[in-house]
A and B are shown apart, each in its own frame.
Chain A
Amino acid sequence: MADTKVDQMSVNVVKEPSMMTGAIPRKNWMDMPVTFKPGNYCYPAKKSIVEYLDSKLPGLFGVPREWTVESDDWQLPENWVEIILQGMRERLDKFRSFKVFMDICVRCGACADKCHFFLGTGDPKNMPVLRAELLRSVYRGNFTKAGQILGSIARGREMNFEVLKEWFMYFYQCTECRRCSVFCPYGIDTAEITMMARELLHLVGVGTNWILEPASNSNRTGNHLGLQPHTFKQNAEFLLDDIEEVTGLKLNSLTFNRKGAEVLFIIPSADVFADPGIFTFMGYLLIFDHIGLDYTISTYSSEGGNFGSFTNNELMKKLNAKMYAEAERLGVKWILGGECGHMWRVVHQYMETMNGPPDNLEVPKSPITGTVFENAAATKMVHISEFTADLIKNNKLKIDKSRNDHRIVTFHDSCNPSRGMGMLDEPRYILENVCNNFYDMPENTIREQTFCCGSGTGLNTGEIMDLRMRGGLPRANAVKYVKEKHDVNMLSCVCAIDRATLLALMEYWNPDVGVCGVSELVGNALIMDGEIERTQDLRFEELVNVGGSDEAGESGNNEEGA
Chain B
Amino acid sequence: MNIQTLLTPKKKAIVQKWIDQVLDSYASPEFFKKQKDRFANPIGFTISEGLQNLFSILIEERELGEAAKPLEDLIKLRAVQDFSPSQAVIFVYLLKNIIREELDRDLKSDEVMKTLAVLDSRIDKIALMAFDSYMDCRERLHQIRVNEVLSGRSALTDGTKCVSAMLKKNQTESAENNQTNRLI
Residues of A at the B interface (CB closer than 8 Å) are 9, 12-13, 15-21, 23-25, 39-40, 112-113, 119-124, 127, 209-210, 213-214, 224-227, 231-232, 234-235, 238, 270, 272-275, 278, 442, 444-445, 460-462, 465-466, 469-470, 473-474, 477-478, 481, 500-501, 503-504, 507-509, 562
Q: How far is the CB of B8 from chain A (nearest CB, A)?
A: 27
Cβ-closest 6 pairs across A and B? A122-B26, A477-B42, A18-B24, A469-B80, A500-B153, A273-B162
Complex alpha-carbon distance, A460 and B168, angstroms: 26
Chain B: CB-nearest residue to A446: B39
B interface residue count range (under 10 / 10 to 19 / 20 to 34 / 35 or more): 35 or more
Chain A CB within 8 A of B82 CB: yes
Complex alpha-carbon distance, A24 and B26, angstroms: 7
> Assuming the A-B contacts A469-B80, A478-B39, are A122 and B94 also in contact, with contact meaning beta carbons closer than 8 angstroms in the complex?
no
Q: How far is the CB of A140 from chain B (nearest CB, A)?
A: 23
- Determine which of A120, A274, A507 lies in contact with B43 in the assembled complex, contact meaning CB atoms within 8 Å: A120
Q: Determine if A272 and B30 form an interchain contact, defined as CB atoms under 8 angstroms apart.
A: no
Complex alpha-carbon distance, A15 and B35, angstroms: 17
- Determine which of A13, A18, A466, A481 lies in contact with B39 in the assembled complex, contact meaning CB atoms within 8 Å: A481
> Assuming the A-B contacts A25-B27, A113-B40, A473-B43, are A466 and B80 also in contact, with contact meaning beta carbons closer than 8 angstroms in the complex?
yes
Chain B: CB-nearest residue to A497: B156
Q: Determine if A13 and B151 form an interchain contact, defined as CB atoms under 8 angstroms apart.
A: no
Chain B: CB-nearest residue to A211: B157
Q: Determine if B25 and A21 form an interchain contact, defined as CB atoms under 8 angstroms apart.
A: yes
Q: Chain B contacts of A500 at CB under 8 A? A: 148, 153
Q: How far is the CB of A177 from chain B (nearest CB, A)?
A: 16
Residues of B at the A interface (CB closer than 8 Å) are 21-22, 24-32, 35, 37-43, 45-46, 76-77, 80-83, 87, 90-91, 94, 137, 140-141, 143-145, 147-149, 151-157, 159, 162-164, 167-168
- Determine which of B28, B40, B91, B155 lies in contact with A225 in the assembled complex, contact meaning CB atoms within 8 Å: B155
Complex alpha-carbon distance, A18 and B24, angstroms: 6
Q: Chain B contacts of A470 at CB under 8 A? A: 80-82
Q: Determine if A238 and B87 form an interchain contact, defined as CB atoms under 8 angstroms apart.
A: no
Q: Determine if B162 and A225 form an interchain contact, defined as CB atoms under 8 angstroms apart.
A: yes
Q: How far is the CB of A310 from chain B (nearest CB, A)?
A: 13
Q: How far is the CB of A44 from chain B (nearest CB, A)?
A: 13
Q: A235-B162, A469-B80, A500-B153 are in contact. List 4 more A-B contacts (CB 8 A).
A: A238-B163, A273-B164, A274-B153, A275-B153
Complex alpha-carbon distance, A275 and B163, angstroms: 10
Residue picked from B35, B41, B156, most chain A C-beta under 10 Å: B156
Chain B: CB-nearest residue to A225: B159
Q: Determine if A12 and B81 form an interchain contact, defined as CB atoms under 8 angstroms apart.
A: no
Q: Determine if B30 and A209 form an interchain contact, defined as CB atoms under 8 angstroms apart.
A: no
Q: Determine if B24 and A24 form an interchain contact, defined as CB atoms under 8 angstroms apart.
A: yes
- Determine which of B26, B39, B154, B157 lies in contact with A474 in the assembled complex, contact meaning CB atoms within 8 Å: B39
> Assuming the A-B contacts A13-B28, A124-B27, are A508 and B81 also in contact, with contact meaning beta carbons closer than 8 angstroms in the complex?
no
Q: How far is the CB of A301 from chain B (nearest CB, A)?
A: 18
Q: Chain B contacts of A235 at CB under 8 A? A: 162-164, 167
Complex alpha-carbon distance, A481 and B42, angstroms: 11
Q: Chain B contacts of A442 at CB under 8 A? A: 39
Residue picked from A119, A474, A501, most chain B C-beta under 10 Å: A119
Majority SS of interface residues in chain B? helix
- Determine which of A16, A19, A234, A501 lies in contact with B164 in the assembled complex, contact meaning CB atoms within 8 Å: A234
Majority SS of interface residues in chain A? helix
Chain B: CB-nearest residue to A274: B152
Q: Determine if B147 and A507 form an interchain contact, defined as CB atoms under 8 angstroms apart.
A: yes
Complex alpha-carbon distance, A477 and B40, angstroms: 10
Listed by A's residue number, 20 A-B pairs whose Cβ atoms lie within 8 Å are A12-B28, A19-B21, A20-B90, A24-B24, A113-B41, A119-B40, A119-B43, A123-B28, A124-B27, A226-B159, A238-B167, A270-B153, A274-B153, A460-B156, A465-B144, A477-B39, A477-B42, A481-B39, A507-B140, A562-B40
Q: Determine if B42 and A119 form an interchain contact, defined as CB atoms under 8 angstroms apart.
A: yes
Complex alpha-carbon distance, A214 and B162, angstroms: 14
Q: Determine if B42 and A474 form an interchain contact, defined as CB atoms under 8 angstroms apart.
A: yes
Q: Chain A contacts of B27 at CB under 8 A? A: 13, 23-25, 121-124
> Assuming the A-B contacts A18-B21, A270-B156, are A465 and B145 also in contact, with contact meaning beta carbons closer than 8 angstroms in the complex?
yes
Complex alpha-carbon distance, A460 and B167, angstroms: 25
Q: Chain A contacts of B140 at CB under 8 A? A: 507-508
Complex alpha-carbon distance, A515 and B33, angstroms: 33
Complex alpha-carbon distance, A224 and B156, angstroms: 6
Q: Chain B contacts of A231 at CB under 8 A? A: 164, 168
Q: Determine if B35 and A113 form an interchain contact, defined as CB atoms under 8 angstroms apart.
A: yes
Q: Chain B contacts of A12 at CB under 8 A? A: 28, 30
Q: Chain B contacts of A39 at CB under 8 A? A: 82
Q: Chain A contacts of B156 at CB under 8 A? A: 210, 214, 224-225, 270, 274, 460
Q: Chain A contacts of B87 at CB under 8 A? A: 20-21, 23
Complex alpha-carbon distance, A231 and B80, angstroms: 38
Q: Determine if A562 and B37 form an interchain contact, defined as CB atoms under 8 angstroms apart.
A: yes
Q: Chain B contacts of A503 at CB under 8 A? A: 151, 153
Q: Chain B contacts of A225 at CB under 8 A? A: 155-157, 159, 162
Q: Determine if A40 and B82 form an interchain contact, defined as CB atoms under 8 angstroms apart.
A: yes
Q: Chain A contacts of B81 at CB under 8 A? A: 120-122, 466, 470
Q: How far is the CB of B24 from chain A (nearest CB, A)?
A: 4
Q: Chain A contacts of B41 at CB under 8 A? A: 113, 119
Q: Determine if B42 and A275 form an interchain contact, defined as CB atoms under 8 angstroms apart.
A: no
Q: How far is the CB of B162 from chain A (nearest CB, A)?
A: 4
Q: Chain B contacts of A20 at CB under 8 A? A: 21-22, 24-25, 87, 90-91, 94
Q: How far is the CB of B72 from chain A (nearest CB, A)?
A: 11
Q: Chain A contacts of B141 at CB under 8 A? A: 465-466, 469, 508
Q: Determine if B162 and A509 form an interchain contact, defined as CB atoms under 8 angstroms apart.
A: no
